[in-house]
Structure 1
Amino acid sequence: MKRSVLPIVLVLLCAAGCSNAQEPEPTENKSATTASPTYQLADGSCATSTDADRSDASSTARYYASIGHCWDAQTDENTMAGVLRAKELMSVSWYEQQKEGSAARNALQSQFVKAAEHQGYSVPDVNPTGGDVDQDVAADKAVRGVTTSWHWKNRDGAADISGGKDQQIIYLEKHGGQWIVVGAQTTMTEELDNA
């Protein structure tokens, strides 16, 4: 008596393909999503890690500072949110140290509160500090000083809000032809009068 091979073939085909079948995506509830506005981070104005020339220590340091100072009062709880967005420019150990301190109190809480009233975000401007801070310690080690100033741009059309400036010393190492930030130290912070 001959057995039919068809049921066995169907079982094998289903075993190979049925488990990989994707479930349909859940549909969005349009009425739930229109209740509150959705904000693109700083209206798309923040620099990204891909903007940096990783073969250049100064460029890597400048973009690290720029990304770290680009905050959105609608989405960020504190200044560390910006720093964590620069993950691709950091060594794993430096990123982990920053991540551990990310829940710390916001050093610029009053600025964030005022900016949140107007759906504001920071606009950073980064420049070399100057002087003798910049050093090429070795072929694969460098130090760069940057001064970052920022103000808050408001989405609701209100006048921009004063921000501040700070100075950082940024420590870099070169790995595989690319510079990464392995440490940073803020040496001065100045908030401008928001009155």
Structure 2
Amino acid sequence: MNEESSYASYPHSECKPFDGTAVLGDHRDHNLVTRRAKAELIGLPDADWTVAPHIVYSCADYDITDDSSSRLPVLGFGFAGFEYTIDGQRLRYLGIVPNWDEEPFEIYLQIVQLGKTAATGVVVLPNREQIYDFLHFLKTTELTQDHGVLPEERDEYSSVPNVRALHEQIVSDVQLLDGIVLFPRRKFLDEGFDTLDHLVSVPTYA
């Protein structure tokens, strides 16, 4: 059997699934953050190695036609860190790096998946304003059971002096965000994970 006929007999040959196209394309700022995250995780004494990305399929109730019913939305995670325990390697950190044009609902879906793991979730959003936009989205759509702890108006976030205060005053009281830290990119690129344990309780598996 020659190579051409062998390829033609493959069940999904018409799909040509491996075309070499980069999933993230030329998103330099996104890739800069994920590279920094990898370097940070490798340098931590309790995180042995890191991989990117993790991919999961969303089972959200999307309005899709019969023609696209086999195309489930795909959620990608930008970086992950593992640690050794007496029971073997455990996922310790799992992070996403949303792009500038990513919809708040997409970020919400990824955070839901983060919350299903025992890892510390790290969400590196483009800037602090987009963190406020996302939190206000949770408020207005009532996607959290405890949306009442979020400010009524988007403008109220301007009185929060810094990211640490945001976590202490607001984020720590939102059950959806339990064990998850929200970083603006500049803070992460400037400080790395140095302030991570100040923003979220980091689990240990000793």
TM-score (norm 2): 0.27
Greater strand share, 1 or 2? 1
TM-score (norm 1): 0.28
